[in-house]
Structures are given as C-alpha cells and as structure tokens.
Amino acid sequence: MILAVGFLLHLQDPPPKAARSVHLWWTAPAGAVFYHEMTIVESTPGSYFMACGWNTGYFGIQELGKDEKIVLFSVWDPTKGDDPKVVPADRRVEVLKNDPAAKIGRFGGEGTGAQCKYPYLWKTGETCRFVIAASVEDKKTTYSAWFWRSDAKEWKALATFRALTGGSPLKGLYSFVEDFRRDGKSAQERRRAVYGNGWIRSAPGEWSPIVRARFTADATPLLSIDAGVADGAFMLATGGDVKNTTKLNGELMLPEARRAPPVDLPADLPKP
C-alpha cells in the first residue's frame, strides 16, 4: 500500500522545467594552456555550450535569444556564497584587461566571480575555437582567453582575469551542454555539440591530446541525454527526443590516430 501511494505521488510530480545538463570530463594532465574546438549541431535559445572548463572557471558560447549570441568567459572567486556584493575586495577576481567590445561584470547565484560577455553571432555548423592560458604567480593564477573569429579569420583576446587559487594550474578539465531557459518548453528542445582536437600544454611546453572522457549528467530525472564518439570527435546531446546510447559514468575514447597540436595559435599566447 505504501509503495502504491509513493508511486501515485511520483506520477503527480511536475515534469522538469529544463533539459538535463550533460558533461564530458576529460582525462588530461594539469597544464598551462587548454585548446579546444567545438561545433554546434543543434541549438535553441537558452543554451550554453561550454568548451573549456577547469576547476576555477569556464569558457564557451551561449544562445540567449533570436539573433542574440555571445562568447562567455567566467572565473570564480575563491569564496563560498552566491552574493557577489559581499565578497571582500581582496578576494574578488581581478580584471587586468579586456577587449573594448566585451562586457565585463560580476556574477552570482552559482558562486561568485568575474565574467566576460563578448557578442558574436556564431552559427550552427561553425567550428568554434577556444584557447585558455593560465600563468601561476605564487598564490594567484592569471587566466587569459582567446576566441577565433571565423568571419575575420583572427584570434580575439577577450579578457585577462587574475584570481586567488593557491597557485593552481588548469586542472579538472571538462565541457558541458546546459539549458538555462528552464521554462518547461525548453526541456523538449534538442541541443547537440561536437568536441574535437582538444589539447593541453604543460608549463614546460609539452602538448598532450585529449582522447578520453567520462560522461555524466545532473540529477534532472530525464533520459533524453547522450554522448558518443564519431568521426574522430566526441558528441554531447540533451533535450527533446534525444535517445540515450551511452551509460552515465561510461568512458569514451577516440580511436588511435596520429595527432599534431595546433600551430596557428594566438601570437600573444604566453611562451613556455
């Protein structure tokens, strides 16, 4: 009888308002430079496709609304709490420089920190390229982000932030796809991205390819999620009628192939 009542109560639970967030955790050494390429296959307003994530920040692109898209680079303060106004000045992420077209501000609600919003109308099917560099300075780390503008055929230096990290390099690397619209309808819409040609450069200058990942998701009770490997790249999808083929916490690996690190990187990228 108790089981029956619990089942009936479960049936009455409202459906999730958002598609399930999905992640790929990359097997890679800690490093000083993280290079990644990402292609959006399917998108909808309220989507965040994150390409370069690490233990203190993330870097990717968002579709905010019709004809409103941005590149987003964020670094967290080394504090707890969600109110950016109460963080002491000496504990806040420092803004060292930024592109004039970028909007720099503080964020809260999921921890606190500094963020850079750069307007760019990226397109479905376009290969977006990202570089994040970390320079350790005693107990602080300076992070610089570059984004490849396909229309202008040039690297754009978006911003440089410095944060108290205890002297941490880039580590805990991951990527994700997220629905932040959360209006009920958004859970029924598909989001799909392909990740490839990922590399991490050590402080001495040695490049290592990213060829292995672990698939995870948040606790949203939806099965419309998937990850996989095809054509030498990783795939991540969520929402709508997406069919699950890879088990959560399952490992994915690219087939063995000769790989060469990128050579056309930003001219002002820090040298080893």
Number of structural domains the chain divides into? 1
Buried b (16+ CB within 10 A) or exposed e, 163-179: bbbeebbbeebbbbbbb
Range of the domain at 135: 17-76+117-155+166-253
Residue 142 domain-assigned (yes or no): yes
Angle of CA points 65, 60, 70, to nearest 5°: 35
Query: Which stretches within the chain are classed as H helix?
Result: 2-11
Residue 237 domain-assigned (yes or no): yes
Phi then psi for 133, rounded to 5 degrees? -120, 140
Using CA atoms, how far residue 90 sits from 78, 137, 142, in Å, is 10, 16, 15
Residue 176 domain-assigned (yes or no): yes
Residue 191 domain-assigned (yes or no): yes
The confidence score (pLDDT) of residue 12 equals 55
Residue 1 domain-assigned (yes or no): no
C-beta atoms surrounding 13 within 10 Å: 8
| DSSP secondary structure, 98-112, as one string | E-TTSEEEEE-SSS-
Residue 89 domain-assigned (yes or no): no
* Whole-number Å distance between alpha carbons of 43 and 183: 16
Question: By the 8 A CB rule, do 212 and 229 touch?
Answer: no
Residue 104 domain-assigned (yes or no): no
- Residue 150 tokens, joined: 């396909």
The β-bridge relationship of strands 57-65 and 68-76 is antiparallel
What stretches in the chain show pLDDT beneath 50?
1-10
The confidence score (pLDDT) of residue 246 equals 97
Residue 63 domain-assigned (yes or no): yes
Which residues partner with 161 through β-bridges? 95, 143
The pTM assigned to this predicted structure is 0.94
The confidence score (pLDDT) of residue 66 equals 84
| DSSP secondary structure, 190-209, as one string | -EEEEEEEEEEE-TTS-EEE
The confidence score (pLDDT) of residue 267 equals 96
pLDDT in tens, 237-248: 999 999 999 999
- Residue 81 tokens, joined: 């709490």
Question: What's the burial of 6, exposed, middle or buried (CB within 10 Å: 0-12/13-18/19+)?
Answer: exposed
Question: By the 8 A CB rule, do 40 and 61 touch?
Answer: yes
- CATH number of the CATH domain containing 200: 2.60.120
